Structure 1
């Protein structure tokens, strides 16, 4: 199980517990024995039955991400927006977060015990224009031409270095701190945005073409029938970013990486 999968499970377990409790399944406190059959319900001072506690909304069980107000007319060097409109093949009623990114880059980072290491990173911006709070648990997977996958890695030493090389005034978040609820952005002329960065210390240096799949920007999904008659396969609405790298594996530089043509595509993956 990948590190990111473990992070996602640890964040979503409270929601699973809430769903279990709200479904009517029995839920007993660990420090109290179960009530005997026929026992009277708890009563207040006047003898009236106490009302049940108010249910907790799922968006109160996870942290709310801190957004940064950014004017929409503020110039942002090399940051490209993705078309996040609903497509004809999508199910009606799904939501999609607005996403912008910079081309994949390489940064040298001093990592304790390993020395100076080359780190691939994808700098991005997310805005919630759906009108309601949305859960954001992003997953970034780099895939080479042979289909080999490289999940993004937690590299805390890279975050301040990347922030300094892009915009030191923006509090960019790494993989661990960017999971939570994104409040809706409703201000006129201003984006309440979350800035993040996905990082890789391990990748295929020989790959001339590769893609980065970004999952977690939408709740859209499809069930694909299994030709062998097994359970249907669930595929999620995912953003695929395509890149081309010119050069060899011995002298890897950011200048060798270009976006594909077209640069991205929404897929079910």
Structure 2
């Protein structure tokens, strides 16, 4: 995998019907023709937000793809992703409903009959929050979006602490997916799968996000609640630990703020 400023425009909000929203504005195309473009999978969480700001810092103009797949906090995540895209000056914001992942089930993120477990940061088994093969589904849509718009890359926010719990976050998965993209797109298409933090920790992401000026107050990570965040699910625990490790208070509201200490 290879590592690689945006126009002054509001992102265009579109749904899976392909219609444009009315909040788009005229685009300032100054000096935009020579810059590379990339699709960013923008969930609204801190990892994808930092990845988007990293892509922008590397000189890419951005197309932001957000998906709702029946997760318990989908409305809050959408609001965060939409605001981040606006702040980034994204060329486009595409929102797609992927409720087939909810219909497939087998994840506490999408199945109301399954409880979201409290964090067990020493566990080795795959947690109940794993959505079967989700990243392959999301990446496939991102590559379609990228090829349709002549983009040079797709950026994903996976990182090293995801490996044990989520098999579709491992470096070998992304390398294999990039090979599939090369085989399954038009001969003239060249789309890199960029995972800038794949060997980094959540703490590294928090530190880099602070350097990039990521508005973490407009991100959301909790698996259980839309506000306040619970503070005790896996996602809250790793997020709080990262902020505690870098000596910065996480700016979003929590029902509880346990001290998770050093990773």
Q: TM-score, normalised by structure 2?
A: 0.26
Larger-Rg structure = 1
Higher relative contact order (CA 8 A, sep 6+): 2
Give 1 or 2: higher strand fraction.
Answer: 1
